């Protein structure tokens, strides 16, 4: 179980978060984010919308690819292929979790002989709840902060969102071995 989390505070600006959040609002209206995966009953979860299974419906705006390139550059990930098995589009998945929604405890499947490396940015924090746990450790993430870990090696979850402000998370994915992940320096 690899519970290492790489963190970079204020990786994106509040203005960039606002631009990402505005796209999510528009995308929800246009059903580019749609029903999430529910425990045991398939793609029926209305409290967490996602692009995971709907990447053929839209194009991400340029800011998303600019941020992906910034992550790749700053962490030196040029040699890693993008994670595309997990859905979304071009290695990027976004989710919007509303009041009452959560992310159930799970471990992501690996991609072939490599682990999934997620470099996530929460562009909007919920008013309350929505606490990230990696292993049994609470990771207190702020809007605009980058946090990266190997979700295919460790149980992770997010507690129930409370309040009127949804939690918006952008997931930028790569494929990496555990050894390659351990070489990342910040």
Q: What is the dihedral of CA 53, 57, 63, 68, to 10 degrees?
A: 30
Could you tell me the residue range of the domain that residue 110 belongs to? 6-182
Measuring CA to CA, which residue among 29, 28, 48 is closest to residue 38? 48
Going by pLDDT thresholds of 50, 70 and 90, the confidence category of residue 49 is confident
Please provide the average confidence, as pLDDT, over all residues in the chain. 92
Residue 125 lies in a domain: yes
Residue 1 lies in a domain: no
pTM over 0.85: yes
Residue 170 lies in a domain: yes
pLDDT for res 163: 96
- Sequence-distant (≥ 6) Cβ neighbours of residue 97 within 8 angstroms: 47, 48, 49, 103, 126, 130, 158, 161, 166, 167, 168, 169
Going by pLDDT thresholds of 50, 70 and 90, the confidence category of residue 28 is very high
141-182 pLDDT, tens digit per residue, is 999 999 999 999 999 999 999 999 999 999 999 999 999 999
Question: Is the pLDDT confidence value at 184 over 80?
Answer: yes
Residue 130 lies in a domain: yes
- Counted residue by residue, the chain has a size of 186
- For a pLDDT cut of 70, what percent of the chain falls above it? 95
Residue 71 lies in a domain: yes
CATH number of domain containing 133: 2.60.120.620
Q: What is the DSSP letter of 31?
A: T
Number of domains present in the structure of the chain: 1
Separation of alpha carbons 61 and 14, rounded Å: 17
Question: Is the pLDDT confidence value at 40 over 70?
Answer: no
């Amino acid at each position: 179980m690899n519970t290492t989390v790489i963190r970079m505070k204020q990786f994106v600006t509040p203005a960039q978060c606002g631009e990402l959040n505005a796209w999510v609002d528009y995308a929800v209206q246009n059903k580019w984010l749609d029903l999430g995966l529910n425990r045991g009953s398939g793609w029926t979860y209305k409290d967490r919308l996602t692009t995971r299974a709907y990447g053929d419906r839209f194009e991400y705006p340029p800011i998303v690819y600019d941020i992906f390139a910034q992550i790749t550059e700053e962490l030196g990930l040029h040699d890693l292929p993008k994670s595309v098995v997990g859905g979304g589009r071009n290695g990027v998945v976004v989710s919007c979790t509303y009041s009452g929604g959560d992310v159930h405890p799970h471990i992501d499947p690996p991609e072939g002989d490599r682990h999934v490396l997620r470099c996530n940015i929460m562009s909007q924090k919920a008013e309350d709840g929505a606490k990230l746990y990696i292993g049994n450790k609470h990771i207190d993430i702020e809007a605009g902060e980058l946090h990266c870990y190997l979700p295919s090696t460790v149980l992770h979850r997010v507690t129930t969102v409370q309040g009127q402000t949804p939690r918006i998370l952008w997931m930028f994915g790569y494929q990496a071995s555990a050894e390659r992940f351990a070489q990342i320096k910040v």
